[in-house]
Structure formats: structure tokens, C-alpha cells
Amino acid sequence: MFYQDAAHDDNTPVHPVSAPDYMPVDQMRALQLHRLQGMVRQVYENVSLTRKRMDERGVRPEHIKSLRDIALLPFSVKDDLRDEYPFGLFASPMNDIVRFHCSSGTTGKPIVIGSTKNDIILWQQVCMRALAMCGVRSSDIMQVTYGYGLFTGGLGMHYGGEGLGCAVLPISGGNTDRQLMMMRDMGVTVMACTPSYFLHLIDEGHKRGIDFRTDTKLRHGIFGAEPWTEEMRVKIEQSSGITAHDIYGLTEICGPGVANDCQYHNGLHIFEDHFYPEIIDPATLEPLPDGESGELVFTTLTRTGTPMLRYRTRDISRINTKPCECGRTIRTFERVKARSDDMLIIRGVNVFPSQIETGLLKVERVLPHYMIVISREGDLDRLEVQVEVTSETLSDDIKSLEKLKADIAQSIRHIINISAVITLVEPNTLPRSEGKLCRVKDLR
């Protein structure tokens, strides 16, 4: 079945993979309930932590008789994945697991998500729907500069593009000269990367005499992995002539492909047949109705390797109540602008202050007082760590001080895989507090 989509000026029909986007609401809710009941039963039978928590609440799978009953179920948080590292939350036997993806943890150990073959197929399908929503078609050439490997970004976009029939250029990140050269030489029409890196490419292109509007064939940008504003969208579109779209995802749920915006940019459409959304009050943990702001929570409805039950994303948003002009019936949530925890997103990477502290304290001659300063140089994030050292250390020769800064930077990079600028400061110059100390200045 094809659906005419008002989202595209060329009036071409949407790829049939997008059919669930237009499913009647009553039919969608019935499907969600059916899948939720099956998922709860699978998790209860196979994940001991969830079974223990449900038993403590006196809840069994047969108690889930309506979608409202999801409130009876316990939440999942990132610490559960760390505490049960590596395989404690798997709900399928290991011989059904075909892929691992990981993201960093605060103690150096990653969280581990195991995927079955079916999980990979469904992931490709939601990424195909995301790209189709943006107007990407089989005739497009897509350059993927998200990282490939344990990070989900690169492979998610890669599979989505190939599934639609695009020619995919899996260039991954870095090497700006090569990115610009291949973008032009191969006639790339779709770019998938972080928005800040695309702005960096625009700036570097201009230095080399490249006008993205006239010297490239780019039409679409699929940007995610870091927060970005509507103002940045306008800047990108004005500077390059492309249509910029926002894609949302997280490793714990599946990676990119949880939600995406259409050309109306009135929020991100949630692929609700696979991911059931809730908004909760982050203080009371009580569910909130659509339209109220709170913490975004997702339950996976179709994942079988590592299903997530009421996973707290820590992202603050709200589910919109008005239907979208594009005609899709799946709900949207507002662009995420804040979080309910202290996680930072720097250059598309999730970073916790405690990770930086761990790196600092591995280096001798460093005092346990520091300040993390995040700013922008051009359109790229800059991470500076101000570190107190003793007066005796500061009196060392320049060569010794440079080595100390290099050792600190290397220790931090080993944990978070991001380069930091290290500034050594006099003792007792950074803020102190008897209560909760704010160690982060985000100047972006």
C-alpha cells in the first residue's frame, strides 16, 4: 500500500515501509497492547531483575490488561545495565544474539545491548521509515559520517539507507578534506552526521572555495546524536540549501530510528508500533498526560534480545496533542532541550562528569578539584578541564608541565574518547561548596 505524503514537493508516494505511520489510532493502540503483553511476559520469564521487581510489586504479566496498566510496571535505568553487565538483562539465549552494541559507562565499563537477527531487521525498518519521512529515496546517494562500530549511529543509518535502495558511502567520521572531496566527486545528496560536524564541513568548505548550494548536490541532512536548536537548523539550511531533519535514538532502545521529524518540524514522530512513549514527573515518577512536560520514558515493544521496560531516558520533553499536518497518526514529542540528570553530550558522545573525574584521579600530582568548561569554537564543541595542582607543581619547568597536561588529557581520552584541553590552575582557585558542587560550565 502506498500513502500520498504532503511532506514532499515532488508529490512522490511514500515508501510502503511507512504504512504504519498512518495506522488508525485505535488499531495502533490495540497493536501496542498486544505487543506490550507479549514483551512483559518474555521479560518476566527471562530477566531475573525485572521478575524480582515485579514480584515485589505483586505484579504479574496477566495483570497487564490495558495500556494504562503499564504504570504498574517497574522502571529501567542506565544503572541497571551497568549493574547487570554484561548480559544480565538479555531476554534471549546467547545463541539467538547476533550483535552487540555498547555505549560508555561512568566507571569505564560499557553498557551492553544484545540484538537478535529480528532486532536488526526491525531496526533497519524504523531507520528506513525515518529516512523516508525526510524525503530520501532509492535514487539518493547517502554519506554516513556517524561512527561505525560499537556506536549505533553509523550502522543504523547505513542499514536504513541500503534498505531504501540508496547508494551508501560509509565514510565514518574525521578527515574533513576527504569528506568534502567525496561529497562533491560522488554527487552525494544526503548527509547523515551530527549537526555541529556538518556546520564544520560548511565552514571548511567555504575556506576551500566550496559553495554547498552550487558546488554540491546535497538535498537532505539527517542530524542527531547531540542536542541542537531550531536556530541551528535555520543556519544549516540557509548556509547549504538542504532540508535539515532531526533523528532521535539511544543505544538502550535501539539506536537511531526511535523518532524523526517530518518537513513540518512540529516535533519528532515516534515509531509507536515499536516504542511505547510515556511522560513522567521526574520527581514523583507519576505518569503525566499528553501535553505536559516531563521525563521521556520508552518501552520497547518488539525487541527480543535486550528489551527495555519503561526505560527512563532522562530527556525532558512533552508529547504533542495536535495532529501533524503531514497526516501521520503516530504521535510526536517536542525537541529535547534539557535532561533530568548530569549527563553531557559533547560532539555527539555521552559524557558524565564522574568519568572525567575518574580520568583525573588516575594521574599523580593532581588535586581533586576541577571544573569542566564546555564551549564552542566555530560550530564544534570544545572541552576544557581546569585542574588544580600544588604550587610546587606549578613551579616546575615548562616541559614537565606540558607532560603533566598531556598525561591528564590522555587519561581522560582513554575513558571518554574525546580530546580535552587541560588548564592547570593554582590551588584554592576553583569553587568549593559544602553542598552539591557544580563542576560544569556549559557555555554553548
Alpha-carbon torsion angle 56, 287, 77, 360, nearest 10: -130
Q: Is residue 34 classed as helix, strand or coil in its secondary structure?
A: helix
Of 381, 370, 294, 317, nearest to 344 by C-alpha is 381
Mean pLDDT computed over every residue of the chain? 91
| Segments of the chain assigned to CATH 3.40.50.12780 | 16-341
At residue 15, the pLDDT reads 61
Handedness of CA 250, 253, 256, 259 (dihedral sign): negative
At residue 5, the pLDDT reads 44
pLDDT > 50? residue 37: yes
At residue 4, the pLDDT reads 38
pLDDT > 70? residue 332: yes
As a whole number, mean pLDDT of residues 305-311 equals: 98
At residue 7, the pLDDT reads 41
Q: What is the CA radius of gyration of the chain?
A: 23
Q: Return the half-sphere exposure (C-beta side, CA atoms, 13 A cut-off) of residue 245.
A: 27
Least confident of 211-220, 260-269, 306-315, 353-362: 353-362
Query: Higher-confidence residue: 338 or 137?
Result: 137
At residue 2, the pLDDT reads 35
pLDDT > 80? residue 200: yes
Which helix (H) or strand (E) segment holds residue 222: the answer is strand 220-223
pLDDT > 90? residue 248: yes
Question: How far is 128 from 131, CA to CA, in rounded Å?
Answer: 5
CA–chain centroid gap for 426, Å, is: 37
At residue 16, the pLDDT reads 73
Whether the CB-CB separation of 255 and 100 falls below 8 Å is answered with: no
Q: Which pLDDT band holds residue 135 (cuts at 50, 70, 90)?
A: very high
| Segments of the chain assigned to CATH 3.30.300.30 | 345-442
Q: Which pLDDT band holds residue 432 (cuts at 50, 70, 90)?
A: low
pLDDT > 80? residue 9: no
As a whole number, mean pLDDT of residues 136-148 equals: 95
Q: What percent of the chain has pLDDT over 90?
A: 73
Place of cell 573525574: 357
H helices then E strands: how many in the chain? Answer: 12, 21
pLDDT > 70? residue 330: yes
CATH architecture of 345-442: 2-Layer Sandwich (3.30)
Query: Higher-confidence residue: 242 or 432?
Result: 242
Of 220, 219, 277, nearest to 248 by C-alpha is 277
Whether the CB-CB separation of 430 and 369 falls below 8 Å is answered with: yes
Question: How far is 128 from 120, CA to CA, in rounded Å?
Answer: 12
Q: Return the half-sphere exposure (C-beta side, CA atoms, 13 A cut-off) of residue 252.
A: 23
Rounded to two decimals, what is the model's pTM? 0.80
Whether the CB-CB separation of 142 and 189 falls below 8 Å is answered with: yes
At residue 419, the pLDDT reads 93
Least confident of 46-60, 97-111, 183-197, 241-255: 97-111
370-377 and 338-339 strand pairing: unpaired
Q: Which pLDDT band holds residue 105 (cuts at 50, 70, 90)?
A: low
Alpha-carbon torsion angle 288, 292, 297, 303, nearest 10: 100
190-193 and 220-223 strand pairing: parallel
Which helix (H) or strand (E) segment holds residue 152: the answer is none
At residue 439, the pLDDT reads 84
Of 329, 272, 265, nearest to 298 by C-alpha is 272
Place of cell 542527531: 224
At residue 431, the pLDDT reads 81
As a whole number, mean pLDDT of residues 123-132 equals: 97
At residue 174, the pLDDT reads 83
Q: Which pLDDT band holds residue 6 (cuts at 50, 70, 90)?
A: very low
CATH top-level class of 16-341: alpha beta
As a whole number, mean pLDDT of residues 337-352 equals: 80
As a whole number, mean pLDDT of residues 373-392 equals: 92
Q: Which pLDDT band holds residue 106 (cuts at 50, 70, 90)?
A: very low
Question: How far is 295 from 172, CA to CA, in rounded Å?
Answer: 32
> What are the start-end ranges of the E strands in 302-348?
311-317, 332-333, 338-339, 344-346
